[in-house]
Each structure stands twice: as C-alpha cells, then as structure tokens.
C-alpha cells in the first residue's frame, strides 16, 4: 500500500502552481540528476524542453517556463531567495545562455528551446519531455508527468520486468477512510496519533516536529506577507491585492507588532463578531494566494492553487477559537489534514488537470474540515464526516483560470473553501456519524468518477468556463 507522508502532502515551494510550477521544477532537477548518474551531464551541448497538454495550454500563465529554467539552473524552490527568481530568469532570457549546476554554460533560448505542444500525452494531462543533445551528436530524452501537489512520476514501460523494490511500510497503512477508523478503534487513538505513529516509522519525533514547525512558519509568514503587501498582481490581469486593506481595516489602525507571531497575538485582541470572523478567514486565504500568484513561497496544501484554505482555517482556530493553542495543536491539525489529503490522492486525484478544481479546493477544504474537527473535540468518525461534507459541496467544481493565471477565480475560491471547511466541521460536530448517508470513501470515489466524466475544457486548460466566458479585455 502506498505510503504518503504528511511531508508529501504539504510541501514548501514557489507559486503559482504545484503541478505547473513546482512539479516541472522538480522534474528538471530529477533529469539533471539522471544525466549526472549516467555520466553525460558534462557532455550536454543543447537542451530542449517540450510541454504537453495542460502544461502547454496554461503553462505560461502558471510560470512553467520559469520553473524549468530555474530547475535547470540548479535553484531549489524551498531555499531560493524570492528576489532572485526574476533576476535569474531575466538573465537567461537576455543572454540566451543557461548555467548548469556542473558550472558549464550552454546556449539556451527560452523562446525556441521551451516548446509548448497543445496535444496531450496519454498517460497524464501534465507531461513534459527533456531532450539533451550531447557533444557526440547523440540525443537523450526523458518524459516526466507532474501529477499534482508537486508529485512527479515517470511512466513505467508495460513490458518492463517488475523488480523487487523495498518500499517503506507504515505500521498503520491507510488507503480508505474505513482503514483509518479501524486503526483508531483498534488502538484507541485519535487520527493524529495514528498518523504520528506512521511518521515515526520514517523519521524521529524531533525531525517530525522540526519539519511541521517549518511548514507552519512558512504558512504564517505567507499570510503575513500577503496582508502587508499592496498593489496589483503580476500577469497582465491587473488584479488588485485585497488582503492588505482587509487586514488594515480589521485591525482598525492597531499596528503594535513587528513580526508574524506578534501579528497573530494582535489579531486575538480584535473584535470578532460573525462578520469579522468571515472577513478574517477570507483575509488569511486571500493573502496566501496573492503571495502564490506573485511567485512567492507557499506550502502546497495539497496544491499551490489551494494553498490558502488550510492556513486560513488553522489561523481561524488559533486567533478565534483557542487563544491558548500552540504548536501541539498546529501539529495535530497538519497531521490530520495530511492524512485526509492522502486518502483523496490514493482514491482519486489532487490534480486540477485531471479532476478540475474539486481536486484542489475541494480536497483542501476536506483536509481543513477534518483537521479542525479533531481540534474541536470531534471523534475520528466525525473528522471523516466533516471531510466528506466539505468535499460533497465541491463536487463538479471546474478549473477555468482566466488567462491561464492562478488568480481569477482561484484566489477567491480559497476563501470559499475555507469557509465551507468551518461550516462542515460544525455540521459534523453536531451530528451522529451513524446517521450519515454518505461515507468519506463514497465521496472520494464519486469525485473520481466526476473527474473522469468532466470535459477536458474544465480541467486547467483555460478552454472553457470563466476562462472563455470572460474576455481579457473585460479585465
């Protein structure tokens, strides 16, 4: 059974898209490592990159060309200073040269050496092929598929002999929601405790804590940056940032803070009637995805396009519901969210190019709803019930970004997904799971069937929905 860690579901990377930016970036890194392993990296004379399907149709709006150039240059999406991104890309575009990680420099013109093919490869909607011409004149190629959430795979040959490979095996393997409930019941543990036990089979408790703390710090910093940055988003749509003014108005002039942690404490002291709660949750979600749309650093949760939902709901819990909450609550939230996301990945998809936006915002809303339910005292059964409710009301959601940019309607959808997650939590907490008519596993299966039935024009191709219903001139 596939073992998916919380650190697989929640990755730190650069926006605006996990499948179109982070995935191709990681694919470029993997290809360079493959060339290095084959001992031909020093013989590379020319490189061409071919984009297929959704990566081609919305690649430029999703900065896929930037990601490939940065990956081939040896930059790490987790560590690269944000301000260096535009500088590195501009230098490649101007010099028409690529500085490979082995210190060699080759001719590379992004306009001709990154080729966007509209056709789809049969294995997955997000395909890209790297092609290297060696000094001998020979060519070597490798095709990768960015399957959502920053996950990258290659297609195994059908006639390839299966090899015995030792995969990590969790002590409590989970494929279905029923598997998770069975483990909780048999062990007398919460979902977060079961997930933590699985994580401890891969790494130490200190490593888990350090990793989750880094994920939360990145989320908090992302919200902070988004709430303290004015102006318009790049890309040509001239979308105005809204988190800055919302944050300023809700704080009512209070600025006695100097960093994200002090900002969080300050928010706890504000008026929080129902309307303000809605506004704060929206502000947190908008802030993250405005940063994401600006090629900022975010956490895929489970994707970049849905990166604002989980931080917004977790922040809601910290500043509204439980002022005494700290890292232990944050840790439990992330562990539960990651496990729910993995169930959707195993049983359906987290790729908008395969399943529409239900696979992004819908899954992130389900992840957040379940995690919030455990922190709010819900049973494991209520946790899965909350996740089911959240997804049930995102079924069929299309991915139709205007101009191929992760801005309209993507940014606002994170706000709606966060609000739905909170509502789903409350509905589950007030219900008896025994009375539920739709179990989580059924909604996962239904989501996948819906994804397969959905027209490709609603799967991150910008060929349908709002992407064609609203002209760029209207924006």
Answer yes or no: do 272 and 416 share one domain: yes
d(CA 285, CA 223) in angstroms, rounded, equals 8
Q: Where are the alpha helices (DSSP H) in 38-176?
A: 54-57, 64-72, 82-95, 110-113
Residue 164: inside a domain, yes or no?
no
Q: What is the pLDDT of residues 371-401, one digit of tens each?
A: 999 999 999 999 999 999 999 999 999 999 9
At residue 256, the pLDDT reads 82
Residue 187: inside a domain, yes or no?
yes
Answer yes or no: do 185 and 244 share one domain: yes
Answer yes or no: do 189 and 41 share one domain: no
Residue 163: inside a domain, yes or no?
no
Q: Where are the alpha helices (DSSP H) in 269-409?
A: 274-293, 309-316, 327-347, 352-355, 361-375, 380-392
Answer yes or no: do 194 and 98 share one domain: no
3-state SS assignment for residue 241: coil
Answer yes or no: do 146 and 36 share one domain: yes
Answer yes or no: do 118 and 196 share one domain: no
Answer yes or no: do 313 and 351 share one domain: yes
Confirm if 204 and 284 have CB atoms less than 8 A apart. Answer: no
Q: For residue 47, give the H/E element and its range.
A: strand 44-53
d(CA 456, CA 44) in angstroms, rounded, equals 37
Residue 171: inside a domain, yes or no?
no
Question: Which residues fall within 8 angstroms of residue 31, CB to CB, at 6 or more apart?
Answer: 130, 142, 144
What does the block give as tokens for 464?
A: 């349908």
Domain around 80: 6-153
Q: Which residue has the tokens 């799967």?
A: 459
Strand-pairing partners, residue 145, are 127, 153
Answer yes or no: do 228 and 110 share one domain: no
User: Domains in the chain: how many in total?
Assistant: 2
Q: How far is CA 412 from CA 289, 367, 401, in A?
A: 9, 18, 12
Which of 120, 153, 186 finishes a domain? 153
Answer yes or no: do 276 and 411 share one domain: yes
Answer yes or no: do 421 and 323 share one domain: yes
At residue 397, the pLDDT reads 97
Answer yes or no: do 286 and 184 share one domain: yes
With a cut of 50, list the residues of the chain below it in pLDDT. Answer: 159, 163-165
Mean pLDDT of the chain: 94
Q: For residue 17, give the nearest of 303, 302, 296 by alpha carbon.
A: 303
Confirm if 279 and 246 have CB atoms less than 8 A apart. Answer: yes
Which of 153, 168, 198 finishes a domain? 153
Residue 161: inside a domain, yes or no?
no
At residue 198, the pLDDT reads 98
Using only C-alpha atoms, what is the Rg of the chain? 22
Buried b (16+ CB within 10 A) or exposed e, 305-320: bbbbbbbbbbbbbbbb
Q: For residue 302, give the nearest of 389, 364, 214, 388 by alpha carbon.
A: 364
- The pTM assigned to this predicted structure is 0.93
CATH of the domain at 64: 3.30.1330.90
Answer yes or no: do 96 and 214 share one domain: no
How would you classify residue 108: left for phi > 0, otherwise alpha for psi between -120 and 50, otherwise beta? beta
Half-sphere exposure of 15 toward its Cβ, with a 13 Å CA cutoff? 31
């Amino acid at each position: 059974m596939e073992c998916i860690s919380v650190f697989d579901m929640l990755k730190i990377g650069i926006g605006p898209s996990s499948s179109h930016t982070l995935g191709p970036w990681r694919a470029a890194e993997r290809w360079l490592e493959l060339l290095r392993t084959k001992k031909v990296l020093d013989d590379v004379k020319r490189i061409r990159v071919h984009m297929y399907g959704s990566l081609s149709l919305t690649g430029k709006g999703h900065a896929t060309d930037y990601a490939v150039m940065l990956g081939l240059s040896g930059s790490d999406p987790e560590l690269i200073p944000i301000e260096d991104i535009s500088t590195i890309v501009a230098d490649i575009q101007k010099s028409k040269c690529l500085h490979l990680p082995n210190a060699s420099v080759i001719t590379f013109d992004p306009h001709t050496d990154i080729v966007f093919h509209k056709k789809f490869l049969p294995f997955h909607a997000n395909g890209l092929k790297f092609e290297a011409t060696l000094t001998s004149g020979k060519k070597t190629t490798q095709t990768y598929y960015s399957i959502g959430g920053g996950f990258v795979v290659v297609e195994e040959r059908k006639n390839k002999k299966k090899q015995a490979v030792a995969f990590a095996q969790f002590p409590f393997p989970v494929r279905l929601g029923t598997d998770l409930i069975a483990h909780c019941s048999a062990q007398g543990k919460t979902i977060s405790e079961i997930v933590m036990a699985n994580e401890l089979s891969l790494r130490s408790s200190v490593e888990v804590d350090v990793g989750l703390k880094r994920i939360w710090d990145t989320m908090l910093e992302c919200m902070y940056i988004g709430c303290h940055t004015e102006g318009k988003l790049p890309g040509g749509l001239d979308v105005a940032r809204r988190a800055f003014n919302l944050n300023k108005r809700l704080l009512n002039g209070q600025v006695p803070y100097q960093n994200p942690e002090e900002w969080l404490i300050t928010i706890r002291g504000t008026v929080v009637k129902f309307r303000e709660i809605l506004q704060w949750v929206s502000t947190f979600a908008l802030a993250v995805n405005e940063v994401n749309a600006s090629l900022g650093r975010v956490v895929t949760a489970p994707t970049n396009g849905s990166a604002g939902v989980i931080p917004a709901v977790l922040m809601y819990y910290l500043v509204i519901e439980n002022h005494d909450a700290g890292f232990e609550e944050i840790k439990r939230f992330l562990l539960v969210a990651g496990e729910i996301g993995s169930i959707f990945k195993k049983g359906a998809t987290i790729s908008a190019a395969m399943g529409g936006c239900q696979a992004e915002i819908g899954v992130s809303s389900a992840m957040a709803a379940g995690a919030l339910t455990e922190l709010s005292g819900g049973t494991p059964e209520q946790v899965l019930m909350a996740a089911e409710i959240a997804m049930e009301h995102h079924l069929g959601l299309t991915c139709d970004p205007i101009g191929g940019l992760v801005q309209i309607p993507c940014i606002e959808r994170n706000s709606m997904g966060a609000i739905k997650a909170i509502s789903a939590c409350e509905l589950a907490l007030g219900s008896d799971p025994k009375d539920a008519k739709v179990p989580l596993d059924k909604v996962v299966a239904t989501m996948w069937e819906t994804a397969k039935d959905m027209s490709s024009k609603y799967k991150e191709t910008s060929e349908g929905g709002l992407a064609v219903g609203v002209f760029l001139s209207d924006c």
